Amino acid sequence: MEWWKKSVVYQIYVKSFQDSNNDGIGDLQGIVSRLDYLEKLGVDVLWLTPIYKSPNDDNGYDISDYYQIQPEFGTMEDFEELLEKAHEKQIKIILDVVFNHTSDEHHWFKESQSSKDNPYRDYYIWKEPKEGDVPNNWTSCFQGSAWEFDANTKEYYLHLFSKKQPDLNWQNPKVRQECYDIMNYWVDKGVDGFRLDVINVISKDESQYYVDSSIKGHKVCANGPHVHEYIQEMNQKVFSRKELLTVGETPAVTIEDGKKYAPLDNSELSMIFQFELMDVDGGETNKWSDQRFILKDLKQIMSRWQEGMYQKAWNSLFWNNHDQPRCVSRFGDTSTALYHEKSAKMLAICLHMMQGTPYIYQGEELGMTNVPFKSLNDYRDIETYNSYKQLVEIEKKVAHEDMLRYMLKSSRDHARTPMQWNKGKNAGFSNQTPWIMVNPNYLTINAEDEINNSNSIFYTYQKLIQLRKTYEIIILGKYELIMKDDENIFAYKRLYKDEEMIVYCNFSNQEVGYDPSILNDEKILIKNYEKHQKGILKPYESIVFYQKSRA
């Protein structure tokens, strides 16, 4: 079996993990200094958010040089040291590569913009105006038109994200080769794989450039006409050289798409990272709402993916990442210290007992929560700012107070505040004021306390990682939803050879019952309350039974 099917990935948002040189910004040496911690947790792979040179319009997702390390993160020597020291601990490293777009400060774009006959012109997507205006009405993911006019050459370039993130033209074989060369450079350095940013939007449908659409640009461009050809080519030119973990970030995909992107024959990607679940609590203005999810919807989405991908393709498992709010605030309960702890553990158990490769987002293993940002000034994220401007000031669709409330629920910045290491200054992240505020709850939620408490959330994650290494049923078992219509309990079975696992998760703050008669000679693999009373689940209780012979 491929190593990445048995692995657990830990995502590091480099800017906020650990600062080693006291400039208020996390860096590579900071990660080196925390490798013992990661080893103790037991994770197999680290996913580093982009570490390349970037003007930081979108925190590194706007790359100006793929061959250089962002100076505020350190040097190439620092990266090599990190890779070597991680490998000594059997921890692998995957890099985040952004190939749908570059920074407008990348030399390819500067050349491209300089004149219509520059050899790099065709590296990007340039279109003539339509009747003196934008070619079509596509909007960027970060609000406003997806087209930016260039006064020098009098054409528009496409940017599905910010205007400082021009889209590359994947139709151009030279662009494709540049991207493969970049990946091969890092593979030669010894990296173990890649996370490919919005990789399913790279192939645009030429026929749509002058056609209006009712949905956002990146959704129109998702799963375009040549995307599988390109990913197969990438696979042949890069992935097939070594057994790499390749995870494609793929917004707006169906299960049918998923089967094509991450088939078991490894002809494209190892796995996809898809977001259907992340829309479960969206409102009229998408993520900007204060709606809470409905458990039945959540169960339905997760179960459909578990069943649909089984023995066909491979999926990632996650509750949050650097683009999402904190999962314990969103799907758990932070209203009391007890519920915080129980619900954080329950969510971990619920996810880690499913099929797929689990991703832990930094601080999730401590139960880090959303942040009580007070005003607009506390935020740093371009998406949050632009959405505020668009919805409150331009469209006047949402009132200022409402938007602040929505931001408190959904902003990407909740995930991006410094890792909470201890009760010291700035939570032990840096001696200098960090680039974004520290969540004031670091005095009660921090790694040092978690490690000193044998009953902590941290140890639940540690145990879940160990269980995945011990029980093959967790990796390969067939998934079966039970208690489908229950509004409080998420319960499912995993079936493998003659073994069976039953997972119960109470998503409510009420005591609820289940039918214990399906258990015969069970043992308990993991639970989040000291004592379990058969047939009853206390608030946010979760328990996993395992039985050798099926009932």
Smallest gap from residue 59 Cβ to ligand NOJ (A): 7
Give 54's contacts (C-beta < 8 A, 6+ positions apart). 60, 61, 62, 63, 64, 70, 103
Tokens representing 151? Answer: 């006064």
Residue 58 touching ligand NOJ (CB under 6 A): yes
Residue 344 touching ligand NOJ (CB under 6 A): no
Residue 429 touching ligand NOJ (CB under 6 A): no
197 in active site: yes
Would you say 61 or 314 has its CB closer to ligand NOJ? 61
**Among all chains, which residue has been given the structure tokens 């491929």?**
2
Of 197, 365, 500, 541, which is the active-site residue? 197
Binder of ligand NOJ out of 161, 314, 461, 479 (CB under 6 A): 161
Query: Percentage helix, strand, coil, to 5, in the chain?
Result: 35, 20, 45
Smallest gap from residue 322 Cβ to ligand NOJ (A): 6
Of 62, 249, 383, 486, which is the active-site residue? 249
Residue 366 touching ligand NOJ (CB under 6 A): no
Q: For ligand NOJ, how many residues bind (rule: CB under 6 A)?
A: 9
Would you say 167 or 192 has its CB closer to ligand NOJ? 167
Would you say 14 or 98 has its CB closer to ligand NOJ? 98
Go through 22-44 and write b for each residue having 16 or more CB atoms within 10 A of its CB, e for each that does not: eebbbbbbbbbebbeebeebbbb
Partnered with residue 245 across adjacent β-strands are: 193
Smallest gap from residue 165 Cβ to ligand NOJ (A): 6
Task: Please state, as a whole number, how many other Cβ atoms lie within 10 Å of the Cβ of residue 490.
Answer: 23
Residue 197 touching ligand NOJ (CB under 6 A): yes
Q: Which of residues 214-273 bind ligand NOJ (CB under 6 A)?
A: 249
Would you say 62 or 192 has its CB closer to ligand NOJ? 62
Which amino acid belongs to residue 508?
A: S
Give the Cα separation of 342 and 136 in Å (integer): 50
Smallest gap from residue 401 Cβ to ligand NOJ (A): 26
DSSP H or E segment with residue 173: helix 173-189
Would you say 98 or 350 has its CB closer to ligand NOJ? 98
Residue 198 touching ligand NOJ (CB under 6 A): yes
Give 162's contacts (C-beta < 8 A, 6+ positions apart). 57, 58, 62, 140, 142, 382, 386
Would you say 139 or 334 has its CB closer to ligand NOJ? 139
Residue ranges of alpha helices (H) inside 431-477 are 447-452, 457-470, 472-476
Smallest gap from residue 101 Cβ to ligand NOJ (A): 7
Would you say 161 or 318 has its CB closer to ligand NOJ? 161
Tokens representing 198? Answer: 């919005």
Residue 318 touching ligand NOJ (CB under 6 A): no
Which amino acid belongs to residue 252?
A: A
Residue 109 touching ligand NOJ (CB under 6 A): no
Binder of ligand NOJ out of 98, 125, 467, 505 (CB under 6 A): 98
Smallest gap from residue 526 Cβ to ligand NOJ (A): 30
Would you say 415 or 464 has its CB closer to ligand NOJ? 415
| Residue number closest to ligand NOJ, CB atom | 61
Binder of ligand NOJ out of 61, 273, 288, 461 (CB under 6 A): 61
As separate numbers, helices (DSSP H) first and strands (DSSP E) second, the chain gives 16, 20
Contact 382/416 with Cβ under 8 angstroms? no
Q: Which of residues 379-408 bind ligand NOJ (CB under 6 A)?
A: none
Q: Using DSSP bridges, classify how beta strands 126-127 and 245-250 pair: parallel, antiparallel or unpaired.
A: unpaired
**Among all chains, which residue has been given the structure tokens 């006291």?**
22
Q: Using DSSP bridges, classify how beta strands 92-97 and 193-196 pair: parallel, antiparallel or unpaired.
A: parallel
Give 406's contacts (C-beta < 8 A, 6+ positions apart). 285, 287, 288, 289, 290, 398
Nearest Cα residue to 127 out of 199, 207, 192? 207
Which amino acid belongs to residue 449?
A: D
Binder of ligand NOJ out of 323, 448, 480, 499 (CB under 6 A): 323
Phi-psi sector, 367: left (phi>0), alpha (psi -120 to 50), beta: left
Residue 126 touching ligand NOJ (CB under 6 A): no
Would you say 279 or 323 has its CB closer to ligand NOJ? 323
Smallest gap from residue 30 Cβ to ligand NOJ (A): 20
Residue 499 touching ligand NOJ (CB under 6 A): no
DSSP helix/strand/coil, 542: strand
Contact 129/226 with Cβ under 8 angstroms? no
Smallest gap from residue 195 Cβ to ligand NOJ (A): 9
Q: Which positions lie near ligand NOJ, rule CB under 6 A?
A: 58, 61, 98, 161, 197-198, 249, 322-323
Catalytic residue list:
197, 249
